[in-house]
Amino acid sequence: MAEMTDFELKLATLICEILNLEDVTPTDIDPEQPLFDGGLDLDSIDALEIAVAIAQEYDVHLKAEDEQTKEIFATLRNLANHIERERGTQTA
């Protein structure tokens, strides 16, 4: 399992909480494994719930029609990197 950054761990915790993942702890999530199609085996409803939580928590908005969304949601690491990039480009 790849080592998690502090932000990836925080994001994994958010995902476990909002999706009520009973058998998964944040440290169980490998940041480089797929969130969908294997890995955590999440579905589109889970993606929507994660996107809403990210918008509320980080003010980063993910759009289903965006061509990059599938790649952004591919792994926890991709998702964390995207949020950090978006937050870095936003003005305070």
Write down the architecture of domain 6-22+30-89 according to CATH: Orthogonal Bundle (1.10)
- Identify the pLDDT of residue 92: 44
**Is 9 strand, coil or helix?**
helix
Q: For every one of its 92 residues, what pLDDT tens digit does the chain have, with 9 covering 90 and above?
A: 789 999 999 999 999 999 999 899 999 999 999 998 888 889 989 999 999 999 999 999 998 778 888 899 999 999 999 999 998 865 44
CA distance linking residue 90 with residue 37, whole number of Å: 32
- Identify the pLDDT of residue 91: 45
Q: Return the H-helix or E-strand segment holding 45.
A: helix 44-58
- Identify the pLDDT of residue 67: 83
Backbone angles phi, psi at 10, to 5 degrees: -65, -40
Domain ranges of the chain: 6-22+30-89
